[in-house]
Amino acid sequence: MTPLEQTRFNLAQTVIKGLERRNMTGEYCATLADAKEAVGRFLIPGTSVACGGSMTLGELGFVEAAKAAGCNFLDRFAAATPEEQKEIFKEILFCDTYFMSTNAITQDGVLVNIDGNCNRISALSFGPEKVVVVAGMNKVAPDLDSAVKRARNSAAPANCVRLGLNTPCAKLGKCADCSSPDCICCQFLITRRSRTKGRIHIILIGEELGY
């Protein structure tokens, strides 16, 4: 291992220890290829799975992998009408395994996520039997304050640009604490503990992934 790889590994172990103190679990994958294998362990044929919008999951080829594994992938974009989409969202909230990334994670294992529709943070906090979070080590922040700043000044502006939203951060490249109709920062979820031991599992990846 190079010194940089060793440092990433060491930091991941620190985060994982923090997660375990909070009733969550974690593992470290040095590469995207290793992470694909790790995600594959949770793709159990016949189970219902869903995911939140995530560049990291996209880079992992998650949707294709879930379908290839024989999972029942609940796809909110497959709905033909708003009513149908509402039904799919209800099913997603009680699926077997929900996959997502995180906007940030502190060195001591606190997850920070912001959401507009809040389907993603709802599933993280309640509903699915299991939640699997995949995150590049670039999402690790020293403490809660810097994790929130990361979510607001890195993740949210980039997501607004990606989604073509009309928000100040999409033009300024930083948060302007807006309340615009397109604002994606409607609610903040700070996950400092899981009541159910092991319900939330985090796969940390030793690469720069997502925003």
Give residues in contact with ligand SF4 (CB under 6 A).
152, 156-157, 160, 167-169, 175-178, 183-185
Q: How far is CA 159 from CA 70, 122, 181, 183, in A?
A: 30, 19, 15, 11
Closest CB 147 distance from ligand SF4, rounded Å: 14
Tell me whether residue 111 or residue 178 sits nearer to ligand SF4 (CB atom). 178
Tell me whether residue 92 or residue 148 sits nearer to ligand SF4 (CB atom). 148
Q: Which amino acid is at 146?
A: S
Q: In the block, which residue shows the tokens 């992998």?
A: 65
Closest CB 119 distance from ligand SF4, rounded Å: 17
Query: Do residues 135 and 204 lie in contact, with contact meaning Cβ atoms separated by under 8 Å?
Result: yes
Q: Which amino acid is at 58?
A: G
Tell me whether residue 2 or residue 179 sits nearer to ligand SF4 (CB atom). 179
Interatomic CA distance for residues 182 and 210, integer angstroms: 21
Tell me whether residue 95 or residue 184 sits nearer to ligand SF4 (CB atom). 184
Closest CB 171 distance from ligand SF4, rounded Å: 9
Q: Which amino acid is at 196?
A: T
Grouping H, G, I as helix, E, B as strand and the rest as coil, residue 106 is: strand
Closest CB 184 distance from ligand SF4, rounded Å: 5
Tell me whether residue 178 or residue 203 sits nearer to ligand SF4 (CB atom). 178
Nearest CA to 72 out of 40, 95, 54 is that of: 95
Query: Do residues 19 and 196 lie in contact, with contact meaning Cβ atoms separated by under 8 Å?
Result: no
Tell me whether residue 167 or residue 194 sits nearer to ligand SF4 (CB atom). 167
Interatomic CA distance for residues 155 and 135, integer angstroms: 12
Closest CB 8 distance from ligand SF4, rounded Å: 27
